[in-house]
Chains A and B, each alone.
Chain A
């Protein structure tokens, strides 16, 4: 197992810059997620770590060794692809054994390692089945088996659960994380699904437009998003933005929106311009009759466990996550109250967050500029 370090990594395809200067270190044994929308450069970054693409700039280290210009076959890593490519004419056992047979590993050793991989993945009973009749989940497990069996320095996974249905994805998230905990293997995992990243990652790098927008633990990224992009990409539903104009100064502890005074974490920055946005997560919004910030009920999405109520305000929609027992009527006027200590304030022009008391508790690996 090993650390993976990427320094100022760049990749251009012609005039198109797919990755523009990514910097991060994946700690030994860490589960590291590259998260972002399609086209953000996360898969290209992963492919460069794998050696499937050569960077146009920057360096890659696998453990102490620089591998930037090395072929994929010279890097001791295993790649699990989005679409599990299994050999249809081979059974499960032969598929898993394949990478070892290519490396001319002795037979007894192959048998032992395949059995071990099968046990970890709990697919021992299907080892002698043909892969053609397998369910999506089992196919994915076989694909994982083929990666595990090599006992590589690191695993690289490109949306390995992308083809599975939602419920099964959740189950496999738990499995993958448990598998990671058993193997302790350094893993770089690419996904566009924030829930997968939140659930499994020790660290998440949120990518946007070829660059790492924020790097941190799931909790840091969720609680203290560095930018409106991150705030909007993480969370389901994502963070609400209430736009307002005010000359905010260091030391301010409230903002005034449509005459309603809203308490916020004390600002540590002075805004360079007045166009701002108040960021509030749906679970930190409460429907309150007495609140001066008013709106009307636009829609309600019942989810059983909770419900999401959409409130139309003069400043756009605000979604609140409330208990499913709360009854609301469409069109009904309501007041909105926010949990003050959880609020973020953004500079709407740059999209970056303004430092506030929210960031005082920040510890290592927090928001990167």
Chain B
């Protein structure tokens, strides 16, 4: 295992600046997740660490060694792609064993057998070892692909949305498994996703990316509770943070520069308004089982709160809104202390 260091790395494709002056340190044994939408530059960053792309400027170091210009094979990293790539003519066992049989790190058959079975157990595919890769479901194929990365012990694991092709339940299970496996192995992981739940639950630290820049790095709790700007605030939280003009809550104490108030859905109390003192009306109650998402129409805006499934409110009810722990943002979207 090893640390990874990116120093003011830049990468453009033609006129598109995919990664702009990105600096990031990933400590030995750390699980860092790059979070952002499609096109934010997170996959390019991962490919720069893997050596699949060369940076236009800046440095990449793994385990203290400058690898900026080193080919992928010389970096001791493994890469798990979004789309599984397995050898269709080989069995699951042979697919998993493949990296161990490569000429540079040939292992003894008994050792290969032990490792393959261990990884298969971790990923719950022990009973599929003799199947051909093509006889597997999508979820199973992806687990084999992850297994092929786990079977080696590289300096760094690089993972590009490895769970996105799995169904929700399997994704949930694999999250916990990945977390556990990473801790057990003490592995250094750089992981890319657009799924905030994956980022929140897997990461030691999250790096939020926007338009090729790393806009904030911190623990999940830091990022959630103290977002640097509106963009970061909207990346985390499900349902998403409510953003309303400061004037919506005229009596709320707020810093002078505040233009927008951000309210997390769990920091809102809603009750039926009495004698016409309502701020909005209930427009939609989304029953999601564990909780209801109560949508309140505040003028043109949709304001979402979590409510107990037995709140007694119904569509059309005028409601009063009580806000706790608001976050304030200035006109440019930057956070201002409240």
A223 neighbours in B (Cβ, 8 Å): 289
Q: Roughly how many angstroms separate A170 CA and B197 CA in the complex, as a whole number?
A: 13
Whose C-beta in chain A lies nearest to the C-beta of B225?
Answer: A304
Tell me which residues from 220 to 237 in chain B have a Cβ below 8 Å from any Cβ of chain A.
220-221, 224-225, 236-237
B237 neighbours in A (Cβ, 8 Å): 304-305
| Interface contact A167-B37, CB-CB below 8 Å | yes
Instruction: Say which residue of B195, B266, B288, B289 sits within 8 Å of A305 (CB atoms).
Output: B266
| Interface contact A38-B167, CB-CB below 8 Å | yes
| Interface contact A302-B289, CB-CB below 8 Å | no
B238 neighbours in A (Cβ, 8 Å): 170, 303-305
With contacts defined as CB atoms under 8 Å apart, how many contacts are there between chain A and chain B in the complex? 101
| Interface contact B290-A282, CB-CB below 8 Å | yes
| Interface contact A301-B290, CB-CB below 8 Å | no
> Smallest Cβ distance from A340 to chain B, in angstroms?
15
> Smallest Cβ distance from B11 to chain A, in angstroms?
22
Choose, from A115-123, A139-147, A233-241, the stretch at the interface.
A233-241
Q: Roughly how many angstroms separate A236 CA and B38 CA in the complex, as a whole number?
A: 25
Tell me which residues from 283 to 302 in chain A have a Cβ below 8 Å from any Cβ of chain B.
283, 299, 301-302
A233 neighbours in B (Cβ, 8 Å): 169
Q: Roughly how many angstroms separate A218 CA and B285 CA in the complex, as a whole number?
A: 12
A93 at the binding interface (Cβ < 8 Å): no
Q: Mark A130-174, 1 if CB is under 8 A from B, else 0.
A: 000001100000000000000000000000000001111010000
> Smallest Cβ distance from B242 to chain A, in angstroms?
12
Interface centre among B175, B266, B288 (most CB of A within 10 A): B288
> Smallest Cβ distance from A241 to chain B, in angstroms?
14
Instruction: Say which residue of B164, B169, B179, B221 sits within 8 Å of A299 (CB atoms).
Output: B179
| Interface contact B138-A302, CB-CB below 8 Å | no
B34 at the binding interface (Cβ < 8 Å): no
> Smallest Cβ distance from A136 to chain B, in angstroms?
7
Instruction: Say which residue of A165, A303, A304 sits within 8 Å of B38 (CB atoms).
Output: A165
| Interface contact B167-A193, CB-CB below 8 Å | yes
Known: A38-B138, A166-B194. A235 touches B290 (CB 8 A): yes
B176 neighbours in A (Cβ, 8 Å): 299, 301, 310
> Smallest Cβ distance from B206 to chain A, in angstroms?
11
Known: A167-B37, A192-B167, A310-B176. A304 touches B200 (CB 8 A): yes
Q: Mark B287-304, 1 if CB is under 8 A from A, else 0.
A: 111110000000000000
Q: Roughly how many angstroms separate A198 CA and B201 CA in the complex, as a whole number?
A: 23
Q: Mark B203-247, 1 if CB is under 8 A from A, else 0.
A: 000000000000000001100110000000000111100000000
B73 at the binding interface (Cβ < 8 Å): no
| Interface contact A302-B172, CB-CB below 8 Å | no
B59 at the binding interface (Cβ < 8 Å): no
B196 neighbours in A (Cβ, 8 Å): 166-167
| Interface contact A305-B172, CB-CB below 8 Å | no
Known: A37-B167, A304-B237, A310-B176. A198 touches B288 (CB 8 A): yes
| Interface contact B169-A238, CB-CB below 8 Å | yes
| Interface contact A234-B289, CB-CB below 8 Å | yes
B286 at the binding interface (Cβ < 8 Å): yes
B151 at the binding interface (Cβ < 8 Å): no
Q: Roughly how many angstroms separate A235 CA and B168 CA in the complex, as a whole number?
A: 10
Q: Roughly how many angstroms separate A194 CA and B288 CA in the complex, as a whole number?
A: 9
A20 at the binding interface (Cβ < 8 Å): no
A193 neighbours in B (Cβ, 8 Å): 167-168
Q: Roughly how many angstroms separate A236 CA and B170 CA in the complex, as a whole number?
A: 11
Q: Roughly how many angstroms separate A233 CA and B176 CA in the complex, as a whole number?
A: 17
Known: A195-B288, A281-B290, A310-B176. A304 touches B236 (CB 8 A): yes
B265 at the binding interface (Cβ < 8 Å): yes
| Interface contact B287-A304, CB-CB below 8 Å | no
B175 neighbours in A (Cβ, 8 Å): 301
* Chain A residues at the B interface, C-beta cutoff of 8 Å: 37-39, 135-136, 165-168, 170, 192-195, 198-199, 218-219, 222-223, 232-238, 281-283, 299, 301-306, 310, 321, 323-324
6 A-B residue pairings within 8 Å (CB atoms): A38-B167, A165-B194, A166-B195, A236-B169, A299-B179, A305-B306
With A192-B168, A195-B288 already in contact, 10 other A-B pairs whose C-beta atoms are closer than 8 Å: A165-B195, A199-B286, A218-B288, A235-B290, A236-B290, A281-B290, A301-B201, A304-B221, A305-B265, A324-B266
